[in-house]
Chain A
Amino acid sequence: MKIANIFLGGLIMEKLVATDAVKRGMAQMQKGGVIMDVVNAEQARIAEAAGAVAVMALERVPSDIRAAGGVARMADPRIVEEVMNAVTIPVMAKARIGHIVEARVLEAMGVDYIDESEVLTPADEEFHLLKSSFTIPFVCGCRDLGEAARRIGEGASMLRTKGEPGTGNIVEAVRHMRKVQAQVRKLTLMNDDEIMTEAKILGAPYEILKQIKEAGKLPVVNFAAGGVATPADAALMMELGADGVFVGSGIFKSEDPEKFANAIVQATTYFTDYDLIGKLSKELGTAMKGIDISRLPQAERMQERGW
């Protein structure tokens, strides 16, 4: 019986880890859900109880990173570990763009997903991580299809809009989601002989564009992130075709995080039930204070980080 388990019909019954199916599949299981930024075990438990599909463990939420200034790095491993011990849902953590060692440390700790994130100060202003060389899957931000395809080419298993983190302003996430979708639509209508030039224009790997054209969609899920501050914002991003939502500063910077987290989970599932979203929004108190992007100096725009 055991032998038949190893060889059957000439097929080797070999166990494979870190395949595309396993890495991308993990993100597919998160679809329709909300991934919440948390900075300690207590927040992680609130997020889990509210129905978060995963938590992102970090030292400061983006709005505090903005306020604090200086260099933002990978979270203290003690925080990540504390969060991993507190909840049974997946735990993600952020590494700086191009910081091979931060990413390897998070991999060694066994986090479930790594965000190579522009929210942290980049460690490399030219190169991103070769994500395909890791066992742990990665999520990366993108503003357009070129960026999306480059990250997929490097091995990202999940995408998200960059938006403008820590601003409570949804405008950039909307722009990035619409842009990627419009470019995918355009690509699917192209003739095969037009793809190479499109790859040149977008700065995108040709083979990835070919795959996207054939499938009519991205090969990985694309979540909304960077500026989601209300249940209506989350629903808007779902309406625009996001596969799910990351909420950073929005939850634990609101008046009643528990209620807010619950509301945003429901609004994401029932994103076309406007009566419900109205009802959910009614008793939430004040959302985080937002920032007008046009008043944000170029140097403070996190979305410009990444190449």
Chain B
Amino acid sequence: MATIGVLGLQGAISEHVKQIEATGQKAVIVKQTDQLAELDGLILPGGESTTMRKLMDRYGFMEPILQFSKQGKPIFGTCAGMVLLAKKVSGSDTAHLQLIDIEVWRNAFGRQRESFEVNIDIKNLAQPFKAIFIRAPYGERASKDVEVLAYYEGKIVAARQKNILVSAFHPELTNDIRILEQFIDMVEETLKAGV
């Protein structure tokens, strides 16, 4: 059984925990940097990216998460998590962890009024996925090292680069654990490889 952490500073934390437990893995809410050592994978949940970044700085999470990634351990970011992981945040001087080589646009589909759900096709999933977009970002200009897993209206809404997985929508708001299972597969591969 793998141990998956959910960054517990703010956002849809319990929703991710519930999903992790539904896959049969152990979930840990991460509020202190020293908890990262016990994890095989880390999820950056949906929430407000500005709030999370603020708290990540204040409690010294940036460097330890970069180290975590350097060890090859998988990280999955949904919505705000995708913003935190992107190499570039359009219209802003501050990019955050810069672990996946795409440019993201925040609130890219509009405000809450424009938020929506839609069934989309995702690479490697046989059936469509109900994607819930809430003031969601999208990605553009992925480098060739990035595998785009889903587009919506021509924009990148799910992608993977090595140990980093992102989605612009919220799988944690559904009962569908197929994307999380892909992440768990990534974690299990690294465990097998002895990372």
Which of A's residues lie within 8 Å of B, judged by CB? 4-5, 8-9, 11-17, 19, 21-22, 25-26, 28-33, 48-54, 88-90, 107, 110-113, 135-137, 265-266, 269-270
Contacts and interface: CB of A to CB of B under 8 A. Distances in A.
A21 B80 CA distance: 17
Interface string B113-153: 11111111100000110001111000000000000000000
A269 B9 contact: yes
A240 B113 CA distance: 32
B112 interface: yes
Interface of B: 8-15, 31, 46-48, 50-51, 54-55, 58, 79-80, 106-107, 111-121, 127-128, 132-135, 170, 173-174
B48 A25 contact: no
B11 A89 contact: no
A12 B132 CA distance: 16
Nearest to B115: A22
A136 B47 contact: no
Contact of B115 (A17, A50, A88): A17
A49 B51 CA distance: 8
Contacts of A88: 50, 106-107
Contact of A31 (B47, B79, B119, B128): B47
Contacts of A48: 50
Nearest to B46: A29
Contacts of B127: 9, 11
Given A9-B127, A33-B47, A113-B112, 9 more contacts: A8-B128, A13-B118, A13-B120, A25-B132, A29-B135, A31-B47, A52-B51, A53-B47, A110-B112
Max chain A Cβ within 10 angstroms of own Cβ: one of B14, B55, B107, B134: B134
Contacts of B112: 26, 90, 110-113, 136-137
A32 B50 contact: no
Contact of A29 (B12, B54, B58): B12
B113 A32 contact: no
A10 to B, nearest CB: 10
A74 B141 CA distance: 42
B50 A110 contact: no
B123 to A, nearest CB: 13
A32 B47 contact: yes
Nearest to A24: B173
Nearest to A84: B111
26 contacts: A11-B128, A16-B118, A17-B115, A19-B117, A22-B115, A22-B117, A26-B115, A29-B46, A29-B48, A29-B170, A30-B48, A31-B47, A32-B8, A32-B11, A33-B48, A52-B51, A89-B48, A89-B51, A90-B48, A90-B112, A90-B135, A110-B112, A112-B112, A137-B112, A269-B8, A269-B55
Nearest to B47: A29
Nearest to A107: B113
Max chain A Cβ within 10 angstroms of own Cβ: one of B55, B106, B115: B115
A127 to B, nearest CB: 24
A266 B55 contact: yes
Contacts of A16: 116-118
Nearest to A244: B10
Contacts of A32: 8-11, 13, 47
B113 A17 contact: yes
A111 B110 CA distance: 11
A4 B112 CA distance: 28
A128 to B, nearest CB: 21
Contacts of A11: 119, 127-128
